[in-house]
Amino acid sequence: MFDLASPVGTGLIGYVPGTYTQLVEVFGQPDPEPCDPDKTHAEWTAMTPHGVATLYDYGSIHRCRSRCRRDPRKLPERLVSWHVGGHNAESAEWVAARLGVKLEAF
Higher pLDDT: 3 or 68? It is 3
Mean pLDDT of 37-56: 86
- Select the more confidently predicted residue: 25 or 60: 25
For the chain, what is the mean pLDDT? 80
Torsion angle, alpha carbons of 14, 12, 97, 4, to 10: 150
Confidence band of 78 (pLDDT split at 50, 70, 90): low
Please, how many CA atoms are within 13 Å of residue 62, restricted to the half-sphere of its CB? 5
| pLDDT of amino acid 74 | 59
